[in-house]
Chain A
Amino acid sequence: MELVVASAIGVLTAGGVYLVLRLRAFPVILGLSLLSYAVNVFIFASGQLAVNLPPILDKYGDASYTDPLPQALVLTAIVISFGMTAVLVMIAIGAFLDSGTDKVNISREDRDVEDPVK
């Protein structure tokens, strides 16, 4: 099972990094989503894997449970990563509407504007 999760994390990371390295905003956002999946699963997995041991206390039994702490951390991380994606999407739309292109890299011509300090 560990191999399955670890390989899934690896595949998600690889896909995410590849897409983040693309030159347009949309693939970068997709890549970041994949990377968020990878990171969330990674943090979750740091609490060790367990099957059928949810951290819901059993009043009547002396059961063992999986690690609840990474789950709590990941839960908020999932929601926050949605917020981040939303902000990025908005910035991407704004940049596209303003500049007419959704390239993520600043071109040389745009960079070589007159230094306002000088």
Chain B
Amino acid sequence: MGDGSNLLVIMALLPFVGALVPGWMIRAGRNACATFTAIPTILALVMLGLLAPDVMAGEVIQAEFSWLPQLGLSASFFLDGLGLLFAGMILGVGLLIILYARFYLSGEDPMGQFYTYLLLFQGAMLGIVLSDNILLLLVFWELTSLSSFLLIGYWKHLPEGRQGARMALAVTGAGGLAMIGGMLILGNIVGSYNLTDILASGDLIQSSDWYVPALVLILLGAFTKSAQFPFHFWLPHAMAAPTPVSAYLHSATMVKAGVFLMARMWPALAGTEIWFYIVASVGLITMVLGAVIALFKDDLKALLAFSTVSHLGLLTMLLGFGTPAAAVAAVFHIINHLTFKAALFMTAGIVDHEAHTRDIKRLGGLARLMPITATIGTIAALSMAGIPLFNGFLSKEMMLEEASHTYWFENPWIVPALATLGALFSVAYSLRFIFHTFGGPVRDDYPHKPHDPPFGMYAAPALLAVLVVLIGLMPFLAEPLVTVAASAVAGEALHPHLKIWHGVTPALFMSLAAIGGGIVFLLIHRPLDRVWLAAPRPEAKAIFEWIVEKLAALSRWITEISHNGAISRYVAIFTVASVALGFAAYSGGGVGPETRAMLPIPPLVGVGWFALVCGVGAVVVFHRTRFRALVVLSIIGLMISAGFVYLSAPDLALTQISVETVTIMLLLLALHFIPKETPKESSGLLRARDGVIAAVAGLGTGALAYTFMLRDVDTISGFHLDNSYEGGGGSNVVNVILVDFRGYDTYGEIIVLGIAGLIIYALMTALLNGPAGRKLRNTDFTRDLSRDRHPLMMVVATRVMMPIAVMVGIYIFLRGHNYPGGGFVAGLVIAIALLMQYMASGFAWTQMRQRIQYHAMIGFGVVIAGLTGAGAWLAGKPFLTSAYGYIHRPPIEEFEWATALFFDLGVFLTVLGAVMLMLYSLSRIARYAGQQVNLEPMDYDPADRVKKREGSE
């Protein structure tokens, strides 16, 4: 990559970097803020200027970084003639807008925000025109929709601003979605998402079966963005934005993005019949419709908005013609429209700013009061009307010339006639803009006495007006830029000659007719206006809102059906759907033959199975009496542990049995606070339905498990068995997998467990501080309590057992690496030992003797495990690589050390901390609920009773 490509990338990213600045600089004042916003734009312009000579010489500057090559997405940029034209427009007008906005925005408007949005938008636009990858282009495309939403809705206090912004986002966003589909199809046809490749394979694309869908989807994106009929309605409503935004978005950037896209895709998509009929027709309709409506708008900005719609239609129509000459006309008109329309918007903004109204009916006679503004506005509007010697005339002549020999379904008249009609209305509304705003007598009822604004405010439009005249008088000035841009559009070298006088051509007569007719229409505007106002016409905003409302109602309806708050229903649907899918997969794919023989069933296993099945049955049948169900549940857990023992899984058996114990304790504690019985509320029918669902699910799962177990599958377990001792230094493969091979998983899992513990603690705290806490304090739980809460036998037994249990825990922990055991089981065993103390001696008594906070234990556990893993880095190994060795010191037998032990220590601490925190939280609720605290180990001392009896006798 050469210097040029570096510059290109920096240029494309500058506005985004610059967007960070205004937010800070606003503290230094409004001038500093505007200056610092202008700097990135100026820098980017300078870079563009440096690159321009190469591009004008016909070179294409490219820069590429791979981003997600698997998806065909690369951050690649390129700059050709078309890109140069648009980048110049975006940056140039951007700079003028920054200047203009400095004077336009009032002291109450947050200027830093405005400039940030503006630069964000500028960057997004620049990205669109410089992207060499259509996926990247789509990203920037969506960014323009989002950032224009922020800009249009900038005046958040105005409902029109918010509604306009939402409408613009909805319409252009929907178009953007369609375009994503179209671009993906296009990329699939070509086999590459690179724009350069796509532009080079026009024939391939146009002969593909997918050409029409791709074309329609992409055009939907372009039409919505460029406000083409029938999506034109959002643009006038976006006029609720501050005028600098309107001037920027609707003259040079946002709405031109659609036109840009059509021009960009021209070599790939244009030239076919369907392209002509869709694009040219839509453009023609939009041009005429926009011009007609513009004539009857009284709001200056609305007039300009519909005029923009009309001119965008004109551009679309020219691109739709698909001829090189039309492409030249389109490119030239893009430049001309930019100059006069931006100037006109700024003029309208000045009028609004000075006279405090934009209503044409309340204006008039401003030429005397604000001569400079009037001159600028008049020059720009005459250009818009297409009056000779202004630049608008030149491109309009070219357009009419192209239209004059275009056939629409064999009909030679319809296109020229409609084009002339559009031009005629264009003359009429332009003249109305001039005469009804600036012409006529000075009035004395303006809301505010108008006068010319300070130089800074009219500098930008004045510069543009100078350009209007310059290009109008000396069109050859624009020729090099038009040539290079039009050549890029057409994909071939074009050599257009721009001149004022083309001789006596059909276009000249069409122009004359348009000007003459326009003057007539202006003269009879008053009666026409009355007719227009009286005639019924569809209100786009009302239709749009009706559609939005219906869509919202539809989605509410769907939500209502599918998401009605009944969890049982979701579960039922989910279960049935899963079973159905499983059955579909089974019947579709088929199963191979059985490759394993069934193992024999010893009688003892049969007994265990019977106990388990009876247990499940009992839980289901007795689930209403909750306590009983809970006791039976523990039988099932025991049977499963036994099964694990029999089926060569000692680690699982240990874990299952200790988890079982803890779970039952937890549920018993919980049962204290919730009803002890489940009322009977589901009907027999519902229960029958649930029974059928459950039976089907059970059968399906059982059958799946059975089929699976009788067939061999390839596993990766051989690797673990082979490397456990050599690589991990342990002979208990399950433990080595946990702390070594899959140590990362385990690390994640203990963090999850720790988080679960903290969630419970947080929930409990929130609960106790809320209304539930008050309710708890007023609930009487005493009737549930046994009189002898801390029986002597249990207290003594647990205290004796405590050291033994801890020793067993440590033993299980230490042997874990080589024999069944490990951090998980050890943590659970010690947790159970501690829980026994809580149960036997009471919450407060145990709590007083607790030295380490359970939260801290979770934290230490995670940190120790993490540090052990990170320790591997010191040895230059990846995270969680373990090391081990052997220590031999007589008389002690040789024993092994392994870093995995420290990791397991982390696991141990986290499990212990989390389990204890959970049960501790639950017992704290009991405490809160008014349970008394025993300070003595036993609150029922039999000796007291004996003494009492003796005393009373």
User: Chain A residues near B706 (CB, 8 Å)?
Assistant: 2-3, 6-7
Interface contacts (Cβ under 8 Å), in number, total 319
Q: How far is the CA of A93 from the CA of B779 in the complex (A)?
A: 14
B910 nearest CB neighbor, chain A only: A79
Nearest-CB distance from B791 to chain A (Å)? Answer: 26
A7 in complex: contacting residue of B609, B648, B695, CB < 8 Å: B609
Q: Is the CB of A49 within 8 A of B647?
A: yes
Q: How far is the CA of A15 from the CA of B613 in the complex (A)?
A: 10
B647 nearest CB neighbor, chain A only: A49
Contact of A20 with B571 at beta-carbon distance under 8 Å, contacts A45-B709, A49-B709, A96-B674 already known: yes
Q: Is the CB of B705 within 8 A of A6?
A: yes
For A26, A30, A33, the residue with the greatest tally of chain B CB atoms inside 10 Å of its CB is A26
Nearest-CB distance from B323 to chain A (Å)? Answer: 51
Interface 1/0 per residue, B913-935 and A, CB below 8 Å: 01100100110010000000000
B718 nearest CB neighbor, chain A only: A67
User: Chain B residues near A6 (CB, 8 Å)?
Assistant: 702-703, 705-706, 709
Nearest-CB distance from B812 to chain A (Å)? Answer: 13
Q: Is the CB of B678 within 8 A of A3?
A: no
A42 nearest CB neighbor, chain B only: B705
Nearest-CB distance from A31 to chain B (Å)? Answer: 8
Main secondary structure, interface of A, reads helix
Q: How far is the CA of A17 from the CA of B915 in the complex (A)?
A: 27
In chain A between 82 and 102, which residues have their CB closer than 8 angstroms to a CB of chain B?
Answer: 82-87, 89-94, 96-98, 102
Interface 1/0 per residue, B192-227 and A, CB below 8 Å: 000000000000000000000000000000000000
B690 within 8 A of A: yes
Q: Is the CB of A51 within 8 A of B652?
A: no
User: Chain B residues near A74 (CB, 8 Å)?
Assistant: 649, 652
Q: Which of B120-128, B382-390, B618-626, B876-884 contacts A (4 or more CB under 8 A)?
A: B618-626
User: Chain B residues near A51 (CB, 8 Å)?
Assistant: 599, 646-648
Contact of A56 with B623 at beta-carbon distance under 8 Å, contacts A33-B663, A71-B652, A75-B824 already known: no
Q: Is the CB of B565 within 8 A of A83?
A: no
Q: Is the CB of A25 within 8 A of B647?
A: no
Nearest-CB distance from B531 to chain A (Å)? Answer: 40
User: Chain B residues near A87 (CB, 8 Å)?
Assistant: 756, 759-760, 763
A3 in complex: contacting residue of B569, B601, B701, B914, CB < 8 Å: B601
User: Chain B residues near A84 (CB, 8 Å)?
Assistant: 756
Nearest-CB distance from A13 to chain B (Å)? Answer: 4
User: Chain A residues near B564 (CB, 8 Å)?
Assistant: 106, 111
Contact of A59 with B731 at beta-carbon distance under 8 Å, contacts A4-B601, A19-B619, A83-B757 already known: yes
Q: Which of B325-333, B438-446, B493-501, B665-673 contacts A (4 or more CB under 8 A)?
A: B665-673
A33 nearest CB neighbor, chain B only: B633
Q: Which of B79-87, B301-309, B744-752 contacts A (4 or more CB under 8 A)?
A: B744-752
Q: Is the CB of B709 within 8 A of A34?
A: no
For A18, A80, A104, A107, the residue with the greatest tally of chain B CB atoms inside 10 Å of its CB is A18
Number of B residues with CB within 8 Å of any CB on chain A: 117
Q: Is the CB of A17 within 8 A of B693?
A: yes
B617 in complex: contacting residue of A15, A59, A76, A94, CB < 8 Å: A15
Q: Is the CB of A11 within 8 A of B753?
A: no
Nearest-CB distance from B702 to chain A (Å)? Answer: 2
Interface 1/0 per residue, A50-92 and B, CB below 8 Å: 1111111111000001111101101110111111111101111
Q: Is the CB of B770 within 8 A of A98?
A: yes
A86 in complex: contacting residue of B666, B678, B742, B775, CB < 8 Å: B666
Interface 1/0 per residue, B150-173 and A, CB below 8 Å: 000000000000000000000000
User: Chain A residues near B561 (CB, 8 Å)?
Assistant: none
User: Chain B residues near A18 (CB, 8 Å)?
Assistant: 620, 690-691, 693-694
Q: Is the CB of A13 within 8 A of B701?
A: yes
Contact of A55 with B756 at beta-carbon distance under 8 Å, contacts A6-B709, A15-B694, A23-B568 already known: no
Contact of A10 with B699 at beta-carbon distance under 8 Å, contacts A1-B599, A49-B647, A66-B648 already known: yes
B659 within 8 A of A: yes
For B674, B675, B691, B760, the residue with the greatest tally of chain A CB atoms inside 10 Å of its CB is B674
Contact of A75 with B651 at beta-carbon distance under 8 Å, contacts A47-B715, A57-B733, A105-B567 already known: yes
Q: Is the CB of B721 within 8 A of A65?
A: yes
User: Chain B residues near A93 (CB, 8 Å)?
Assistant: 670, 673-674, 767, 922, 925
B860 within 8 A of A: no
Q: How far is the CA of A12 from the CA of B819 in the complex (A)?
A: 30
User: Chain A residues near B320 (CB, 8 Å)?
Assistant: none
Number of A residues with CB within 8 Å of any CB on chain B: 90
Main secondary structure, interface of B, reads helix
User: Chain A residues near B473 (CB, 8 Å)?
Assistant: none
B725 within 8 A of A: yes
Q: Is the CB of B682 within 8 A of A22?
A: yes
B702 in complex: contacting residue of A13, A92, A106, A111, CB < 8 Å: A13
Interface 1/0 per residue, B624-652 and A, CB below 8 Å: 00100110010011001001101111111
A106 nearest CB neighbor, chain B only: B565
Q: Is the CB of B626 within 8 A of A26?
A: yes
User: Chain A residues near B709 (CB, 8 Å)?
Assistant: 2, 5-6, 45-46, 48-49
Q: How far is the CA of A78 from the CA of B822 in the complex (A)?
A: 14
Q: Is the CB of B921 within 8 A of A13?
A: no
User: Chain B residues near A45 (CB, 8 Å)?
Assistant: 705, 708-709
Q: Is the CB of B663 within 8 A of A82?
A: yes
Q: Is the CB of B648 within 8 A of A21?
A: no
Contact of A21 with B647 at beta-carbon distance under 8 Å, contacts A47-B717, A89-B670 already known: no
In chain B between 760 and 795, which residues have their CB closer than 8 angstroms to a CB of chain A?
Answer: 760, 763-764, 766-767, 770-772, 775-776
Q: Is the CB of B623 within 8 A of A19?
A: yes
Q: Is the CB of A37 within 8 A of B734?
A: no
In chain B between 561 and 584, which residues have their CB closer than 8 angstroms to a CB of chain A?
Answer: 564-569, 571-572, 575
A82 nearest CB neighbor, chain B only: B659
Nearest-CB distance from A19 to chain B (Å)? Answer: 6
User: Chain A residues near B569 (CB, 8 Å)?
Assistant: 105
For A46, A75, A85, the residue with the greatest tally of chain B CB atoms inside 10 Å of its CB is A75
B710 within 8 A of A: yes
Q: Is the CB of A83 within 8 A of B914?
A: yes
Q: How far is the CA of A7 from the CA of B610 in the complex (A)?
A: 11
Nearest-CB distance from A95 to chain B (Å)? Answer: 9
User: Chain B residues near A14 (CB, 8 Å)?
Assistant: 616, 694-695, 697-699
A74 nearest CB neighbor, chain B only: B652
A96 nearest CB neighbor, chain B only: B674
B737 within 8 A of A: yes
User: Chain B residues near A94 (CB, 8 Å)?
Assistant: 763, 766-767, 772
User: Chain B residues near A108 (CB, 8 Å)?
Assistant: 565
B666 in complex: contacting residue of A76, A85, A102, CB < 8 Å: A85
List 12 contacting pairs A-B, 8 Å CB cutoff, sorted by A. Answer: A1-B600, A4-B605, A21-B693, A23-B682, A25-B674, A26-B623, A69-B715, A75-B734, A79-B753, A86-B760, A90-B921, A93-B674
- Beyond the given pairs A69-B715, A84-B756, 5 more chain A to chain B contacts, judged by CB atoms under 8 angstroms and listed by A's residue number, are A6-B702, A26-B674, A68-B733, A78-B659, A79-B824
